[in-house]
Amino acid sequence: MTNYTKIGVASGARTELHDVLGLTGAEVSVNELPAGASVPFVHAHKKNEEIYGILAGGGYAVLDGEKVDLKAGDWLRVAPATKRQFFASEEGIKYICIQVKAGSLEGYTATDAII
């Protein structure tokens, strides 16, 4: 495995980073929904925790039937079994989605770093 990989992500509906960066601990996608659009299905996960970060615009998620408003700067953790769907406001929404195996993190920062 190389010591690093890098790519530039242009605007677009969805860019998936796992394969292009050779990720081994996560899938990360950069997503844009235009004004009034939605992800066209409800989904949940078997093992993966999802972490969403809203980069621009806004909208809302429906999580197990509960509407949760989202705006730029918001970060959201969604448990694997939670049923989720995402909707853009009239300004559209740009967000990242991080998939990781729930419970997989051992140490981090001070307990994993070597300085």
| x/- map, 27-66, a copy of itself, by CB under 8 A | xx-x----------xxxxxxxxx-x-x-x-----x-xx--
Q: According to the binding rule CB under 8 A, does residue 71 interact with a copy of itself?
A: yes
Distance between CA atoms of 75 and 59, rounded to whole angstroms?
13
Q: Is 78 exposed, middle or buried (0-12, 13-18, 19+ CB in 10 A)?
A: buried
Q: Do the Cβ atoms of 59 and 87 come closer than 8 Å? A: yes
Residue ranges binding a copy of itself (CB under 8 A): 1-10, 16-18, 21-28, 30, 41-49, 51, 53, 55, 61, 63-64, 68, 71, 73-79, 81-82, 96, 98-109, 112-115
